[in-house]
Amino acid sequence: MGAERHPAPDHEVVVIGAGPGGIAAGVKLTRAGVEDFVILERADEVGGSWHENHYPGLEVDIPSLAYQYSFARNPHWSRLFASGAEVRRYHVAVARRFGLYPHLRFGTAVAAEEWDGDRHCWALRLADGGVLTARFVISAVGAFISPKLDPGIAGLDRYRGRIQRPSDWDDDYDLTGKRVAIIGTGASSVQITPAIAGKVGSLAVFQRTPVWCLPKPNPRIPRAVRWALGVPGVQAGVHGAALVAVDAVVRTMSNAPMPVVRPGLRAIDATAIRGYRGLLRLLVRDPGIRAGLAPDYGPIAKRPTLNTGYLLAFNRDNVDLVTTPIERFTEHGLRTTDGIERNFDMVVLATGYHVFSDPETYTPGLVVGCDGLDLGKYYIEHGLQAYESVSLPGLPNRWTLVGPYSWTGSGWHAFVEMTADHAVRAISEARRRSATRVAVRQDAHDAYHRRIYRNGAAMRYYLTELNAHVPTYYRNSQGDSTYIRPTGFFSARRAHHRFPFTDYDFDRRTA
């Protein structure tokens, strides 16, 4: 009778999302011997951002060697910075090689997650109206959860031309000779601008904030080097050396005393800004455009970009930089606050995403845990926080791969691998103990959050004081910099691999 009252959940583990994080979780679960898991993915293929995005010029902006899994190092990358298509193929190949396809359910969007305290499981409400239950949930929905559909510019619905979004690029639309505008100067815009400048009739780049953009030579990787990269240990060694450097930067920033940090960061920013003006003098001919492209903030206050063609594109006669704010869309284009109207056949909305580090991204009602704890409301009231960036006391049996204070400054794969390791380690321990409920202890969570908040002082100073004038997703609406984990890479990895099991309560449902 007990079994009827509390039937077993549909699956032992449900992973939400099949991007790089979800794939990592699937592989780790398989390796831990968990067979009963599904990966729910709203799209029709694996790859996440790399499946969704296929806009012109898409490439990785960190070397390909650092943008891959430690368990599937690819010696065949064609270039130092692989194209979006190559990265997409890589993820499909990894999912196939590690046997994930039988576990994948495409076209399945999770609309809400509710904890069932009686059954010790999560009820996942699906967008198609179905419900799926899971003992454990790994949320791998990523960092850039969804593109901002509304760019916050009046009159969008009046515009009769073509609206194009980087995350939903219409490859069939012929750009030849078209009058094109691109709104935004973030990472996507920096890649799209030089990729289409030679094809379109005219291109106007509407800029709110100038972006830091350094040249990115992208040579083909010679055959001999590819051979060497196939030698066991070589790629791991090169990547390890890069991680040591990244770790040193993050740790120095997190541990240095504030009386040193303040003048140090001020001096670094001032020097970098002067240096960048020199680079602009070398690369951009027109003094007016050059001045418009010069940031007045530090290089890591906003996501810096790498692209050789971006600044050079502004030397073309058909490319214009518009720094006057946009007032509204018109029927045929855009009107700026100086009253000038420009007509366009197509407007690209490169206006960003709802990101994981903003409390507003967590819609109330989406994730509801013990005693009605609503993740969205909790984050708005208490600020973003999670034990080791992955779990919260009121949300048992649930781990998030990209949570508050999580990004380690490294390549994405290295970081989601370690958060996936954390989740799978806790799940494996629960299985060993036949526990049906695993919840991080409140005291462990509080102690961790106090420490991480203290460590974030330098980053907060940098983003909320020194560079407070820059709009950036590295600083959220609560004035917190919850994007980066201020501990360094290796300490984060150690913590995910060795967290004491006493930081969690493991219980077994008795009824």
Ligand X SMILES: Cc1cc2nc3c(=O)[nH]c(=O)nc-3n(C[C@H](O)[C@H](O)[C@H](O)COP(=O)(O)OP(=O)(O)OC[C@H]3O[C@@H](n4cnc5c(N)ncnc54)[C@H](O)[C@@H]3O)c2cc1C
- Least separation in angstroms between residue 135's CB and ligand X is 18
Determine how β-strand 162-164 pairs with β-strand 213-214. unpaired
- Least separation in angstroms between residue 35's CB and ligand X is 21
Pick the stretch among 41-49, 157-165, 205-213, 265-273 that binds ligand X (CB under 6 A). Answer: 41-49
The interface with ligand X within residues 8-27 (CB under 6 A) comprises 16-22
The interface with ligand X within residues 64-93 (CB under 6 A) comprises 67
Determine how β-strand 131-139 pairs with β-strand 398-400. parallel
Residue of 11, 28, 42, 302 interacting with ligand X (CB under 6 A) = 42
The interface with ligand X within residues 371-410 (CB under 6 A) comprises 402
Q: Would you give the end-to-end CA distance of the chain in angstroms?
A: 10
- With contacts defined by CB under 6 A, how many residues of the chain interact with ligand X? 31
Pick the stretch among 34-42, 96-104, 148-156, 489-497 that binds ligand X (CB under 6 A). Answer: 34-42
Q: How far is CA 476 from the centre of its chain?
A: 14
Residue 18 or 395 having the CB closest to ligand X: 18
Rounded CA separation 476/90 (Å): 32
- Can you tell me whether residue 435 is helix, strand or coil? coil
Residue 296 or 360 having the CB closest to ligand X: 360
* Cα angle for residues 43, 157, 363 (degrees, 5° grid): 45
- Which helix (H) or strand (E) segment holds residue 4: the answer is helix 2-5
Q: What are phi and psi of 296, to 5 degrees?
A: -110, 30
Residue 24 or 427 having the CB closest to ligand X: 24
Rounded CA separation 60/83 (Å): 6
Residue of 329, 412, 473, 483 interacting with ligand X (CB under 6 A) = 412
- Least separation in angstroms between residue 108's CB and ligand X is 6
Residue 202 or 351 having the CB closest to ligand X: 351
The answer to whether the beta carbons of residues 398 and 479 sit under 8 Å apart is no
- Find where tokens 């515009």 sit: 159
Q: How many helices (H) and strands (E) does the chain have?
A: 15, 22
The answer to whether the beta carbons of residues 441 and 504 sit under 8 Å apart is yes
Residue 411 interacts with ligand X (CB under 6 A): yes or no = yes
Those residues with Cβ within 8 angstroms of residue 209's Cβ, 6 or more apart along the chain or in another chain: 185, 295, 297, 302, 470, 471
The interface with ligand X within residues 90-109 (CB under 6 A) comprises 109
Residue 143 or 196 having the CB closest to ligand X: 143
The interface with ligand X within residues 110-139 (CB under 6 A) comprises 110
The answer to whether the beta carbons of residues 115 and 368 sit under 8 Å apart is yes
Residue 62 interacts with ligand X (CB under 6 A): yes or no = yes
Residue 61 or 505 having the CB closest to ligand X: 61
Contact pattern from residue 171 through residue 210 relative to ligand X, giving x for each residue in contact according to CB under 6 A and a dash for the rest: -----------------x----------------------
Residue 142 or 151 having the CB closest to ligand X: 142
Rounded to the nearest 10°, the torsion over CA 109, 107, 416, 69 is 180
Residue 164 or 188 having the CB closest to ligand X: 188
Residue 192 or 280 having the CB closest to ligand X: 192
The interface with ligand X within residues 431-470 (CB under 6 A) comprises none
Rounded CA separation 429/247 (Å): 29
- Can you tell me whether residue 481 is helix, strand or coil? coil
Residues that bind ligand X (CB under 6 A): 16-22, 40-43, 48-50, 53, 60-62, 67, 109-110, 140-144, 188, 402, 411-412, 416
